[in-house]
Structure 1
Amino acid sequence: MPASISQEMPICHSTFQELYDKLVQLFHTNEGRKDLEYCGVSIYSLFESTLKATLVCQGDSEIDLTELLSKAKALTDYCDEAILLYHFKEVPDHWRRMLMDSGLLNVMIQLKGLISIRTASEAPTDFEKLEPKVQSMMSELDICLVVSGAPGPDRRSTALLVLDELQAWLTAGRRRVKERQEAPSAKRLKVDVGERQKTEKEEGAAGRLKYPIERLTEAPSFEWFLAHCNQEIPTPFILPKGCGIIDEWPAFKHHPWKSTEYLLSVAADRVVPVEIGSQYTDADWSQKMMRFSDFVQEHIVKQEKDGPPAYLAQHDVFYQIPRLERDIIIPDYCYIEAELNDSYVQRTPQQEVLKNAWFGPKGTVSPLHQDPYHNLLCQVVGSKYLKLISHQQTPLVYPREGLMTNTSQIDVEHPDVEKFPAYKEVHYLECILQEGEVLYIPPKWWHFVKSLETSFSVSLWF
């Protein structure tokens, strides 16, 4: 395994060589990729011949490497088109496997090219020359990882190793370049994403809630929590900051998610799916793959008011970037075996805790919707307003038809009571979830969420 490169050291090519050797080892035999033959003789043959040519190619032959990269890119493009022919839940494993292996082959070829570059190891221009090449390589591999899910023996672990080591290489290189600079701009990234002062209106909002959600004074016992969840109609409640549920998370301490400097050191060049638009029910809503550093700089640090808001929403960033997963600790409550009933009709797949990240600027919204599982919503940075409505009142919130039956037609902030008159009869609960607090949301309870400031939350479904 490559040595850690997060420590200070001269810019060198040993990291690239070690990662290249790791990929050679992964592809040493074709026993782990026999199922790729199901993609067709021509595609399988193109992959195998490109891999073989990469292994024997001399890295200083730019023409050969360019040709090999073109073939690897053709493979990933073809896989993308093939995958689009299926519903995402029905994509055959062999196409997802071919996409992942082609992505790793693409990286392997580019690493071979980087190894051949000979420059003076201490010159700042070395890093500036290699940085965009490494960024591009990471972006392409990350997209393959997210789209394919990285099936196949050792594929995910190898891809994550490559991405983690290259990110650490970039972070260390940028640190060295910054230290050589005399300009004070070196401090530009040291911005706490939750440091904005709340307005007087926001400070007093918690005391003006009409129907506040119950706040416990201390963490309940495991047995109490299980009994509460097993009620026919469990109710939401808030676990306060300081009760010991998430207070010891590294995300609050030595790996603070409030610090953009820390977040960028871990994930600056990773590519993540970002929602563009006020909420997913809007006609102009869209999704795009975006480099994490671009998302942070454009939508978290600057928070420009002219463009549409962007939201890293309901994404298992912890599966994609395990270094961030080490910053949280799943509460024991998530491992209860709650009884199934009319509102909790199925457990999570493999009874695992489903973890999702919600990171965005002030004003991001999740429209009124419901989820099928028990949920602990953990507020790590900033604060959010939530309105909750029992599933017993489902007819009063006018669920949509079709694919979004779990989403209401009601615009909670501007309800059209003439079009939806029954909504006036709704009984609701509400809260402002503050940093360090945890909100329990029972299955099928409708909930509307809005960030009152820059916010980073983690939802834990179980």
Structure 2
Amino acid sequence: MDLQLSQIERVKTITKEDFIKNYFKPQKPVVIEQFITDWPAYNKWSLDYMKEQVGDKIVPLYDDRPVDYKDGFNEPHATMKMADYINLLKREPTKFRIFLWNILKEVPSLQKDYRYPDFGLRLMKGLPMLFFGGKDSYTFMHYDIDLANIFHFHFEGTKRVILFDQKQNKYLYKVPHSLITREDIDFSNPDFEKWPALKNAKGYETQLNHGEVLYMPEGYWHYMKYLTPGFSMSLRAIARKPKNFSKAVYNVFIMRSIDNLMRRIKGQKWIDWKNNQAIVKTNKVLEKEGR
């Protein structure tokens, strides 16, 4: 048995009017296949180009180890020169990923290679973020703290993406006071005996190729697995739905502070309690629904 996933709709290109009407307003994901063919990045951006441009930069690396109470928010697990990291990606599979790497701050010269597209939403121009990964590396299923509208531009190779909207939370073993599901769930090959609620979750999937843009609506859960070494850039626009905007404010200013405080007070017991609550709460939903 597989997850209940529909293929994300695809269009070759799109006007901002059609995007707003057909995808933003109904909050539906879409892949736009040929929207950035006129960007210099479309032809230039590859792992080799990045190595040439920023090979000497020291970059933060993350792997798929479970959250530890001692870890700071988004604290890297290792660091490496970009040239060495790209050599590693090309040589062998690695769990190390680059996550939320701000081009504007780190490599201003790359700005000439892309433009801020007009989708009819005001993009946050100070936050163009890069993400890199090796074959079979993946991000845990999570959603972004600010519940932003995300435009995810993929470069080099292919990447599998699985999305769920916030209505599926009750089936996903969401960890309380955080933005992740249980980290021991393999969303590319889930164990339904261990995680039976996942059978009821309805989501979307696609495979992203070089130069394609994925629109992820506000607060969408996303799991991404690199099928080959590659990288992506995300641009974002703030949550426009009042409910999502207020949730984003709560997450940034209250939820994160509570979580950090409890980690300091209770240590690993807090992490273990949260992980256990993810199962307890989801099982209660199944009982209530008589599944």
TM over 0.5: yes
- TM-align CA RMSD: 2.5
Deviation at 1:325, TM superposition (A): 2.3
Deviation by residue 1:245-268 (Cα, 9 ceiling, x = unmatched):
211221233xx22251x3233212
**Aligned twin of 2:17:** 223
Residue 447 of structure 1 aligns to a residue whose secondary structure is strand
For each residue in 1:113-160, what CA deviation from the matched residue of structure 2 results, as whole angstroms up to 9, or x when unmatched? xxxxxxxxxxxxxxxxxxxxxxxxxxxxxxxxxxxxxxxxxxxxxxxx
TM-score (norm 1): 0.45
Relative to structure 1, the CA distance from residue 280 to residue 327 in structure 2 (aligned partners, 3 Å threshold; closer, same or farther) is farther
SS of the aligned residue for 2:163 comes to: strand
| 8 A contact 1:311–1:364 mirrored in 2 | yes
Tell me the SS of whatever aligns to 1:411. Answer: coil
> Percent identity over the alignment?
26
SS of the equivalent of 2:38 reads coil
Scaled by the length of structure 2, the TM-score of the pair is 0.70
Q: Is residue 311 from structure 1 mapped to residue 85 from structure 2 by the alignment? A: no
The question of 1:236 aligning with 2:52 is answered no
* Aligned: 1:435 with 2:210: yes
- Structure 1's 300 and 211: CA in aligned 2 closer, same or farther, altered over 3 A? same
| Partner SS, residue 151 of structure 2 | strand
Flag the 1:459–1:400 CA change in 2: closer, same or farther, 3 A.
same
Partner of 1:302: 91
For 1:211, the equivalent position in structure 2 comes to 6
CA distance in 2 between partners of 1:327 and 1:229 (Å): 27
- Within 5 Å, which residues of 2 pair with 1:358-437? 358-371=131-144, 372-402=147-177, 405-409=178-182, 410-437=185-212
**CA positional deviation for 1:432:** 0.6
**Residue 113 (structure 2) aligns with:** 327
Counterpart mapping for 1:57-456 below 5 A: 211-219=6-14, 221-228=15-22, 231=25, 233-241=26-34, 245-253=35-43, 256-258=44-46, 260=48, 262-275=49-62, 277=63, 279=64, 281=66, 287-297=77-87, 299-303=88-92, 305=93, 308-333=94-119, 336=121, 351-352=124-125, 354-371=127-144, 372-402=147-177, 405-409=178-182, 410-456=185-231
* Equivalent-residue separation in structure 2 for 1:301 and 1:422 (angstroms): 38
Number of residues of Structure 1 aligned to a counterpart in Structure 2: 225
- CA drift of 1:282 comes to 6.0
1:384 Cα deviation (Å)?
A: 0.6
Alpha-carbon distance in 2 for matches of 1:230, 1:314: 24
Deviation track 1:408-441 (CA, whole Å, cap 9, x = no partner) reads: 1133134343443221101111111111111110
Bigger share in strand: 2
CA displacement at 1:370 relative to structure 2: 1.2
Q: For residues 179 and 65 of structure 2, what CA distance do their matches in structure 1 show?
A: 13
Structure 1's 364 and 210: CA in aligned 2 closer, same or farther, altered over 3 A? same
* SS class of match (1:313): strand
C-alpha distance in structure 1 between counterparts of 2:95 and 2:139, whole Å: 12
Amino acid at match of 2:150: N
- How far residue 227 of structure 1 moved from its aligned partner, in angstroms, is 3.3
Cα deviation for residue 286 of structure 1 reads: 5.2
1:200-221 deviations in Å (ceiling 9; x for gaps): xxxxxxxxx96211112431x2
Would the alpha carbon gap of residues 353 and 213 (structure 1) be closer, same or farther in structure 2, given more than 3 Å must change?
A: farther
Residue segments in structure 2 that go unaligned for 5+ positions in a row: 238-291
Provide the rounded CA distance (Å) in 1 between the counterparts of 2:67 and 2:113: 33
Contact 1:213 1:238 in 2 (8 A): yes
Q: Which residue in 2 is equivalent to 1:87?
A: none
Larger Rg belongs to: 1
Question: Which residue pairs with 2:276 in the alignment?
Answer: none
Inter-partner Cα distance in structure 1 for 2:86 and 2:47: 11
Greater helix content? 1
SS of equivalent to 1:358: strand
Counterparts of 1:320 and 1:286 in 2: how far apart (Å)? Answer: 16
Query: Alignment partner of 1:326: what SS?
Result: helix
Contact kept in structure 1, 2:143 and 2:179, CA below 8 Å: yes
Q: Is there any run of 5+ residues in structure 1 with no aligned partner, and where?
A: 1-208, 338-347
Contact 1:353 1:460 (C-alpha < 8 Å) held by counterparts: no
